[in-house]
A and B are shown apart, each in its own frame.
Chain A
């Protein structure tokens, strides 16, 4: 039996799942992300977005115009580090 081709390691998304998504009509990167969940794990796509972009462009014949939307925090950060951000925050800066 063939082993899996894992395109997104953090969320265990396989090549088969990407192919399935594109076959169902998800032909842009953001839409494939929402369907399969690639790029939504611990590394937030740092390993897999370029690979998935290459695959989607190969499978759909359309080169992606944009990567998935990067949202903060871009690196794992503890809640304790963020908890006091809004506390004693100056009302308005110069």
Chain B
């Protein structure tokens, strides 16, 4: 079996997945448990019903969407395993492995152009739309109407969004200076010892202008939405790998480097015949992790990637120079781009370089063109933990100094 658990921590509970028992560890993401059990194909895509599997394990893709306890389109990389959770494949006619609607993938080899397809006669267009509505889309309605939850309202001086190295350094420094600060973090991290008031599993979903000059940040947590009214916002959401273009790049079993790191962090070996595309320190660290468990990855240049082949999940990689490598997992170091969305909404300038987007902020003190919004760490293109921490602490100094001078 390609993926396997690496000793520490063995499953003690069972998930019910499409009517079968799948072992899991309480509190780990459901998608990690499925991967460890070698269930790589978790669903099908919207139009062509191509197989889908977790690609990022970071809540940033469509790969792990499943129906969980009667709720459709749940990111199973964010749903935590507990005994007896019922997990179902969605978007499938047949099974996740053999989907009858996958014929659409063959029928439209180049893609579908909605602007021209079946538009030559109105009745044909109408009939095709009827069919498309039945075939396309993700998930079906939930089993039960979900209740409306209470909205919690919080007023705070400084809101730090993201509890990575930079976000925490800034928050801890502010807290130490007696500034009223709150950190929100989208992952289920334990932040009880963080050194500043913090909430995990709490993701910022938007920034709104208020009439009194304050901003309102909405954050979605496990029990509902929190409406936070900060005077100053510090954005520390980091940067993430992005998609790379090669044939079959969307197949299950193709992971970002971060996804592979996350599997190892949960003591799951991503595969025993890995191919890794890309260079640099992170790739070297990943190779070392594999080698520690007796697995020797095949390494190729990212630009050499031509195609990934495999009916359900990736089985072989072909390079532009004609090499073929059998594999059970393909790990691609994607070019990084800042998580710019919230910063852009908050009024920070967004800049494109050759790889992706970044938020324009001072590498010195995180200041931006908006006087009450700061950006720290890799979201502002500050690389390396030491530099990020130093910038975040100077940002805290600037915010504190402003308070001291009224």
A73 touches B357 (CB 8 A): no
Could you say which residues of chain A place their CB within 8 Å of the CB of B227? 85
Interface: B6 (CB within 8 A) = no
**Known contacts A14-B110, A16-B111: does B56 contact A47 (CB below 8 Å)?**
yes
B225 touches A47 (CB 8 A): no
Select A74's contact among B46, B112, B210, B341, beta carbons within 8 Å: B341
Interface: B93 (CB within 8 A) = no
**Known contacts A64-B352, A70-B341: does B335 contact A50 (CB below 8 Å)?**
yes
Select B357's contact among A42, A53, A80, beta carbons within 8 Å: A53
Tell which of B10-18, B143-151, B169-177 binds the partner.
B143-151
B352 touches A51 (CB 8 A): no
**A80 to B248 Cα, complex, angstroms:** 37
Interface: B393 (CB within 8 A) = no
- B242-267 residues at the A interface, CB under 8 angstroms: 242-250
Select B212's contact among A67, A76, A85, A92, beta carbons within 8 Å: A92
* A88 to B, closest residue via Cβ: B151
- A38-68 residues at the B interface, CB under 8 angstroms: 41-44, 46-51, 53-55, 57, 63-67
Select B75's contact among A1, A65, A76, beta carbons within 8 Å: A76
A78 touches B342 (CB 8 A): no
**A71 to B63 Cα, complex, angstroms:** 22
* A73 to B, closest residue via Cβ: B205
**A69 to B341 Cα, complex, angstroms:** 8
**A55 to B249 Cα, complex, angstroms:** 15
A7 touches B243 (CB 8 A): yes
- B107-164 residues at the A interface, CB under 8 angstroms: 109-115, 138, 146-151
**A8 to B111 Cα, complex, angstroms:** 12
Interface size on A, residues (CB 8 A): 60
B244 touches A47 (CB 8 A): no
Interface: B105 (CB within 8 A) = yes
**A54 to B334 Cα, complex, angstroms:** 12
Min CB distance, A80 to chain B, in Å? 4
Could you say which residues of chain B place their CB within 8 Å of the CB of A30? none
- A1-47 residues at the B interface, CB under 8 angstroms: 1-17, 20, 35, 37, 41-44, 46-47
**Known contacts A7-B245, A94-B212: does B62 contact A41 (CB below 8 Å)?**
yes
B225 touches A10 (CB 8 A): no
Could you say which residues of chain B place their CB within 8 Å of the CB of A81? 149, 220, 224-225
Select B242's contact among A48, A65, A75, A77, beta carbons within 8 Å: A48
Could you say which residues of chain A place their CB within 8 Å of the CB of B52? 9
Could you say which residues of chain A place their CB within 8 Å of the CB of B335? 50, 54
**A69 to B151 Cα, complex, angstroms:** 27
Could you say which residues of chain A place their CB within 8 Å of the CB of B210? 93
> Which residues on B are within 8 Å of A, measured CB to CB?
45-48, 50, 52, 55-56, 59-63, 65, 73, 75, 105, 109-115, 138, 146-151, 186, 203-208, 210-212, 214, 218, 220, 224-225, 227, 229, 240, 242-250, 307, 309, 335, 337, 339-342, 344-345, 350, 352, 354-357
What are 22 A-B pairs with beta-carbon distances under 8 A? A2-B109, A6-B249, A9-B61, A12-B50, A13-B111, A37-B114, A49-B357, A50-B357, A51-B242, A51-B244, A53-B357, A54-B354, A66-B352, A70-B345, A72-B208, A75-B59, A75-B205, A75-B220, A77-B220, A80-B148, A80-B149, A93-B214
Q: Give 4 new A-B contacts, CB below 8 A, not counting A2-B307, A9-B63, A85-B218.
A: A54-B354, A57-B352, A67-B357, A85-B227
Shortest beta-carbon contacts, A-B, top 7:
A72-B206, A50-B356, A50-B337, A70-B341, A14-B111, A83-B148, A73-B205
